[in-house]
Amino acid sequence: MTQLVHGNSELRLAMNGLGSNICLVPTMGALHDGHAALIHAGKEFVGKDGCVVVSDFVNPKQFGQNEDFEKYPRNIEQDLKVARSAGAHILWAPSVEDVYPGQWPMDIETDPRFEILEGKSRSGHFAAVLEVVTRLFNIVQPNIAVFGEKDFQQLVFISEMAKKREPQIGILAVPTKRDFDGLALSSRNVYLSSDQRNVAHLIPDALKQGVLLASKGANLQEIKDSVKEVISKSNLIEIEYVDILNNELNELIPGIVGRILIAAKLGNTRLIDNMPILLKEES
């Protein structure tokens, strides 16, 4: 049975006796099957004597001036149902004061990669992500934390931060969970109108086309042009970026697996996705 707790002291009490192998699944709530996959992966990793804690915290620092903090979907009862069905032991829904006690400062190193891809239009976003994840780590003190590959840029930064600042915490990456038509599951999908949802499959379709062309020896520009061509089949989708990078978010060298990444808007809803890609070496 999943326990719903709120304050930090309530969390520690709930964790007592649940095992010393602790898994944290950080979320911003609005849980869906993608989050359930993260919980399943964490539960399998820690085993029957482990404890899986799902944090349910909409972090205000991650939202930019024109982003949807107030409108972000919140439904703790539904979140509890998802967490319970997936087998989480604890759903922890802290307050801002629990996570940011006294607004104590935290030093987050800057990185030029914070300003590319997602960071280009979301100034300060990744510093805020790393700060809140560090605070969640400090409170829960897990052995392992689980993140999805859909937010790949975030995953890269959190993995690097953990190795440097929290080496005792392992990071488990879980492949993107997709809907019946290939669209990556996201809490923001609920914002899509029926017309928008009907064409949203063009985003994963475009990525798959790029991956296929790469396997046939196409170059970077040919792949990007093809991805944009697939997306342009609908005038309801506006591309924000398409990029192909290595798994450290630097230039991709042929013969090394990297990522093709995309961000697009359907009306006011902004979606991101990515897939592994391998550029063929020149013969």
Question: Annotated active-site positions, please?
Answer: 35
Return the amino acid letter for 201: H
Pairing of strands 144-148, 237-246: unpaired
Name the CA radius of gyration of the chain, rounded: 19
Helix 152-165 and helix 125-140: axis angle, to 10°? Answer: 50
Residue 222 burial (10 A CB sphere; 0-12, 13-18, 19+)? middle
CA separation for the pair 279, 166 (Å, rounded):
33
CA separation for the pair 7, 231 (Å, rounded):
45
What phi and psi, each to the nearest 5 degrees, are found at residue 72?
-60, 130
